[in-house]
A and B are shown apart, each in its own frame.
Chain A
């Protein structure tokens, strides 16, 4: 039995489920609104939520896509008992999660969020080219027009930032110096790109797509500012072997067996930008005809 941990609204999960149906592979999907209780029958642990119930030892492989398994935590009246039982429940949950993650898997819930700053350092250590970056609380060393800033958070969307808008923090070019100090921010050298490359990594295999975003003012600095009227041209692409070898090394150091990696190509140099362990890959799959959803279903 395959276990899929995802969110209701993830289209890629649906596409993988269609392939699993086609392959007659049974699966269970856990969604974000489920809360599980750890139960036992004889000596076999099982998890039960409002929608699902399954034995841990019936699970043969796990795909962590998004969201996460949530557990019921029982509360106790006596504060000392409560502290003790809180720890007991923590270790029981930890055992369940470890057991699930020790099975054949694609991504793990517990390292699905990476620190962008550490990833850049580790990418440099793996031999990848990374545009010069630093943290600062002012723009003293910043050259306007030649430096970009972006959020160090995984989520760049601030929902309902005011009563009628959402906020999105795209990668932005610093336009001018600031007179005041600000919260420690991330700055990186702006690279004039020939094109961008987005790669999907799965267990040592790599599928890449070139994104020609540099000729459109709207998508020039951040291709996610999609131009719906006139979309960027996206084509299948093969990164040089020496870059792919370094990517594999980086993913191994990060203990990730799946993820989306972004690069910029300038001349003969491929600059690594970031890795997203739970990134979107539907566009690479569709635009380049890679059928990545089938690859995932095959692997599970």
Chain B
């Protein structure tokens, strides 16, 4: 395993099975899904700009 990452110490076997994800691939796959915007009220730069989902309410 250590040869895979040129480390002098041993690494666990999980490194053999690690999946590398290209950063630009990540951006592409998210392209059509979600957009985030800054939002002062909720003190975040990660506010989901989409119609809020409405929970189903069973009328009895």
Contacts and interface: CB of A to CB of B under 8 A. Distances in A.
A139 B45 CA distance: 46
A199 B21 CA distance: 28
Interface string A1-24: 000000011110010011000000
B43 A183 contact: no
Interface size class of A (residues with CB under 8 A): 35 or more
Interface residues of B, number: 33
A170 B20 CA distance: 11
A168 B17 CA distance: 9
B51 interface: no
Main secondary structure of the interface of A (DSSP, over half): loop
Contact of B13 (A9, A161, A170, A182): A182
Nearest to B34: A11
A185 B22 contact: no
Contact of A185 (B5, B9, B14): B14
Interface of A: 8-11, 14, 17-18, 29, 31, 51, 137, 139, 149-151, 158, 161-162, 164-170, 172, 174, 178, 180-186, 228, 286, 289, 291
Leading 7 A-B pairs by shortest Cβ distance: A172-B17, A185-B12, A165-B20, A9-B46, A183-B10, A185-B13, A183-B12
